[in-house]
A and B are shown apart, each in its own frame.
Chain A
Amino acid sequence: MMTPPPRFSGDLAHLPTHGFGHRSLTWWGIIGFMLIEGTFFALTIAAYFYLMSQEQSWPPPPFPPPNLIAGTLFTLMMLVSEIPNTIIKKAAEEGKLREVRVLLLVMTAIGLALLVIRGFEFNSLNVKWYDNAYGSIIWALLLLHTTHILTDWGDTAVLTMLMHTRHGIEARRFIDVSENALYWRFVWIVWLPIYLLIYWLPRLA
């Protein structure tokens, strides 16, 4: 090719090969998926209010509102889980491998416990998805959130295994841990309005 020699205007060799938060591509990917899933939740909630607006009472008779115990226990546990979650995010950003390894095991255990409680939640709704549209939308909200608990648990479990291998020492894996913790925040924050819609609005409306 008859191209003239390039005009060199600067060098990039000094740049780091990883960065946390918005400097990392992973963060942008996570934010993108949070927006997508947040939209899913928002639209499901919109459908909930749309169906509710057609009713004289909520829940429509003869169904009683869901029992509170399992859902409330779940909510409390999620709120508490933010404590190890915050510590793990900080530890990952400081590159503390030992702490990260231990706390990931804790988070995996918490996720598993939450899944068990979630099973009881489905059992305490006092309505089946095939009973009426109220039942359908309540189940849809709970199921949609459960897919997030389940996928995040799978994700955390794989990451825990990964961090206990020789791959764990790599800087990029700490980014994964940090972003995993960020995603967990999303999972519990979106739960709060859903908790109110499933358990409390039918009591107050």
Chain B
Amino acid sequence: MTDLDPDLARDGPELTGEELHRRLTLAWRRPAGLYGWLSSTDHKEIGKRYIVTAFGFFLVAGVLALVMRTQLARPESGLITADRYNQIFTMHGTTMMFLFAVPVMEAVAIYVIPLMLGTRNMAFARLNAFSFWMYLFGGIMLWVAFALNVGPDAGWFAYTPLSGPEFSPGKRVDIWAQMITFTEVAGLAAAVVMATTILKQRAPGMTLAKMPLFAWSMLVVALMIIFALPAVALDSGMLISDRLVGTHFFNPYERGDALLWQHLFWFFGHPEVYIIFLPATGFISEMTATFSRRPVFAYPAVVLSLIATGLLAFGLWVHHMFATGLPRMGYAFYTAASMTVAIPTGIQIFCWVATIWLGRPVYRVPMLWVIGFIVTFVIGGLTGVMLASVPLDLQLHDTYFVVAHFHYVLIGGAVFPLLGATTYWFPKFTGRLMSEAWGKVAFALVFCGFHLTFFPMHITGMMGMPRRVYTYPAGMGWDTLNLISSIGAFILAAGFATFIVNALVCLRKGRVAGPDPWDAAGLEWATSSPPPVFNFPHIPAVASRTPLWDEGEGLPVMTGLRVDEREHLTTTVIEAIPSVREPSPHPTIWPLLSAIAIGVTFVASIFTPWALVVGLVPSAIALAIWFWPKNPTVPPEPTIE
């Protein structure tokens, strides 16, 4: 217990409304100008930067997809060379997986989760800022290298021995491996921030059993990131040391093993798929509830499915390696495990269908994406169950059937929900709604364009067309199917363009949204759109899973946090009983400067390992200054006017 200092200003019945708003703004706002912008630790600003950057990478990687589809539209096309094609498909996959899909899910969560939980900022706000800068620098490094014709060209999973020093001389694969380091540092930092925020900063009364399903999905995902991402970081570290300092982890001539690469890569790579997919299921749960006007059916079943998927995801990685030759027992085990993971996902889908069935569905644009998701994802899930069978997998391995399968689960299973979620939370981000009419046009174009592009690939794959070929001879029977896929790709691109133009136009011209334009139930809708810098004037308290539906305008709040200093509330892990008033970090430039010091070290280490030794000094100094307290003594209540 602390002594209550009566001189410290706190919110309460005497300090509420406009005066409270004014004082909290003074405490929570960041310095103005570029310096302030670069110093920001506000989760909303960081979240928006993350979202915009991730969509930027989505666009450029999408353009690469169009280039590939143009090349493949007809046989024996001479548009791009084999070497350029290798770089393009590697860049497409790498960017989509590492710079778009995983970060964009974390990005939305960074914006939305603290609002859903009723808190003022995330835990470790500076680490959150650092995470964004590391991610940005890694992405820039990769794309600058590509522009200089040093783009990686060994596929997004960079299999050894192809990616090793013998078969990939030059710097291309080093760039890839170091991009992994950047994005994994960023992803791991964001995961720790996310897990701590969800476990410790929920509104009073929001027990684990009353937590929004999106928060549940992000909690599971944060834990999955913590256990999965080290595998790829270690793997790429071993690869780059094989390439640069002569270790032999993957070199069979010196007692290493090329398959070790695949084991470590897929120990990360398979959970990665669910790291992308589970946040999307969280989006779907939120949107289905809101637009069905009832809570999600069988909440405990959905939560247990999320946890089960998270656990099972770590037991599947070898199904990516069926073609490498395995013991019989290995085949049987990983086939069974791969089929098992379909069960919790199936349960979730039935729960959403039941929610729509039992509710009064309103078919606004986000709900269209939900329906599009269910249809498309079920198809992708079923081809996944097919591929879990070893004989079929051996036949279809590395064909376009696999390309079709994973685009169904990744675009259908993650991008559709993401576009729905963007439409859904757009009014919260910007204060304005996106156009319904153009939203429907975008949905129709994306949905039709998607199926036109990827459905034929199942057949091209079964007809034997391999992945990652820059061209194919005429007369294999693949011509028409490829042409259809290419036409579909441009329709799909037109759909994405419509979506983005709609968003950009509505940023200025959209209909003004109130705090809760969809009549939704979550706490993020209890504050204004966009929220003030401190999120909530008083900390909300909840008693149910759907507070705004149950309490309406009379949402209870708790008082007593300081208003002259940045303070947020931590609560107990399970019951969310108020525990401590923790100070929240002020904005500072040091996370950015630390990221620059560490980033320069990483990039330079591609050229000489001594960079790690030299770079240690500025990095350590930057981190030490970051850690050093900036406001040493508790400042007294400032005199306002």
**A24 interfacial contact with B, CB 8 Å:** yes
Shortest distance from the beta carbon of A74 to any chain B beta carbon, whole Å = 21
Residues of A within 8 A of B581 (CB): 12, 15-17
**A120 interfacial contact with B, CB 8 Å:** no
- Range of interface residues on chain B? 35 or more
Shortest distance from the beta carbon of A76 to any chain B beta carbon, whole Å = 28
A43 to B234, Cβ gap below 8 A?
yes
B580 to A6, Cβ gap below 8 A?
no
Q: Produce 1/0 per residue, B615-641, CB < 8 A to A.
A: 000001000100111001100000000
Shortest distance from the beta carbon of A33 to any chain B beta carbon, whole Å = 7
User: B75-83, B212-220, B291-299, B558-566: which lies at the A interface?
Assistant: B558-566
A25 to B196, Cβ gap below 8 A?
yes
A133 to B257, Cβ gap below 8 A?
yes
Q: Produce 1/0 per residue, A74-104, CB < 8 A to B.
A: 0000000000000000000000000000000
| Other-chain contact of B556, A8, A13, A22 (Cβ < 8 Å) | A8
Residue of A with least CB distance to B256: A133
B632 to A12, Cβ gap below 8 A?
no
Shortest distance from the beta carbon of A115 to any chain B beta carbon, whole Å = 13
Chain A 38-84 residues near chain B, CB threshold 8 A: 39-40, 43-44, 47, 50-51, 54-55, 60
A36/B230 contact (C-beta < 8 A), A12-B561, A28-B123 known: yes
B231 to A10, Cβ gap below 8 A?
no
B555 to A14, Cβ gap below 8 A?
no
Chain B 131-179 residues near chain A, CB threshold 8 A: none
Chain A 10-38 residues near chain B, CB threshold 8 A: 10-19, 22-25, 28-29, 32-33, 35-37
B554 to A7, Cβ gap below 8 A?
yes
Chain B 567-592 residues near chain A, CB threshold 8 A: 567, 569-570, 573, 578-583
A12/B620 contact (C-beta < 8 A), A32-B195, A129-B247, A133-B257 known: no
**B192 interfacial contact with A, CB 8 Å:** yes
Residues of B within 8 A of A131 (CB): 254
A50 to B12, Cβ gap below 8 A?
no
Residues of A within 8 A of B10 (CB): 13
Residues of A within 8 A of B229 (CB): 36
A3 to B553, Cβ gap below 8 A?
yes
CA distance A9 to B538 in the complex (A): 11
**B520 interfacial contact with A, CB 8 Å:** no
**A201 interfacial contact with B, CB 8 Å:** no
CA distance A13 to B569 in the complex (A): 10
Main secondary structure of the interface of B (DSSP, over half): mixed
| Other-chain contact of A11, B226, B553, B558, B620 (Cβ < 8 Å) | B558
B570 to A162, Cβ gap below 8 A?
no
CA distance A173 to B634 in the complex (A): 13
Residues of B within 8 A of A10 (CB): 204, 541, 556, 558-559, 578
A29 to B124, Cβ gap below 8 A?
yes
User: B105-113, B259-267, B348-356, B475-483: which lies at the A interface?
Assistant: B259-267
**B614 interfacial contact with A, CB 8 Å:** no
A54/B558 contact (C-beta < 8 A), A28-B199, A129-B247 known: no
Residues of B within 8 A of A44 (CB): 234
A51/B260 contact (C-beta < 8 A), A8-B559, A13-B560, A23-B579 known: yes
CA distance A59 to B99 in the complex (A): 41
Residues of B within 8 A of A205 (CB): none
A32/B196 contact (C-beta < 8 A), A4-B554, A51-B257, A158-B627 known: yes
**B251 interfacial contact with A, CB 8 Å:** yes
Residues of A within 8 A of B256 (CB): 51, 132-133, 136
CA distance A191 to B23 in the complex (A): 50
Shortest distance from the beta carbon of A130 to any chain B beta carbon, whole Å = 4
Shortest distance from the beta carbon of B17 to any chain A beta carbon, whole Å = 8
| Other-chain contact of B620, A7, A13, A129, A154 (Cβ < 8 Å) | A154
CA distance A1 to B632 in the complex (A): 38
- Central interface residue in B255, B561, B627, by most chain A CB within 10 Å: B255
Residues of A within 8 A of B553 (CB): 3-4
Q: Which residues in A have some Cβ–Cβ distance to B below 8 Å?
A: 1, 3-19, 22-25, 28-29, 32-33, 35-37, 39-40, 43-44, 47, 50-51, 54-55, 60, 129-137, 139-140, 154, 158, 162, 166-167, 170, 172-173
11 A–B contacts from the bound complex (CB under 8 Å) = A1-B528, A6-B537, A7-B557, A8-B12, A10-B578, A12-B578, A15-B560, A23-B570, A44-B234, A51-B260, A158-B628
Known: A24-B582, A29-B196, A133-B249. 7 other contacts (CB 8 A): A13-B10, A17-B2, A28-B199, A47-B260, A47-B264, A51-B255, A158-B628
